[in-house]
Amino acid sequence: MQTKLHINLTQGIIDVEGDVELVKAVYEDFKDRLTGQVVYAPPLAEQPATPAPNAGNGAAPKTKKRAPTRRKPKTTEDGENTINPDAPQLDKSLDTSKLDAYFGQYKVGNHPERVLIFLKFLIDELGIESPNTDQVYTCYEAVNERIPKVFSQAFRDASGRKFGYIDYNSPTDIPITTVGSNYFKFDLKKKDAE
């Protein structure tokens, strides 16, 4: 007579099949371990049985593509959200009431110039020592400017060889370089100087 024993301690499966004596012996060996360290896990969702491949045409069963996972914002040990330059958030505590007048003075041609102007506004007008990418994003929204498709790329462009206006080290470490300060003071075109 065949006997079968199946134990699933949250996928630490033990399968034994054989005569009654063999199954009892295996059960006796593991009985003490099973009762001492039982850890209950939530039940797994039932998965539909995969159909057997069609023997007639030899085709393998079709598998569903997984939906892309949405990245959750990383949190610090304190539980605060960290800043993600590829998924910027509005900083609702930022006072952008004077930004329209400040930004409206300049003829802006590209995103590196916009980033430079927004950083100068945040540092000089609002007194923020270390502005972050979320605050610059808030400035884009406040003046109703088109936001770059890959937001962090605007910062990389502004810090690259071609422009060099900023030194983009991280989303919270974006100092303006000497090149950027000089460009802002002497080369950035103002609208009234036409």
Which tens digits make up the pLDDT trace of 59-70? 555 666 655 544
Contact criterion met (CB below 8 Å) for 159 and 173: no
Residues 6 or more apart whose Cβ sits within 8 Å of residue 163: 112, 157, 179, 180, 183
DSSP label at 193? G
Which value, in Å, is the radius of gyration of the alpha carbons in the chain? 31
User: Which pLDDT value is given to residue 166?
Assistant: 96
Q: Which residues of the chain have pLDDT under 70?
A: 1, 5-14, 16, 23, 26, 30-81, 193-194
Q: What's the pLDDT score for residue 72? A: 44
What was the pLDDT predicted at 70? 43
pTM summary value? 0.59
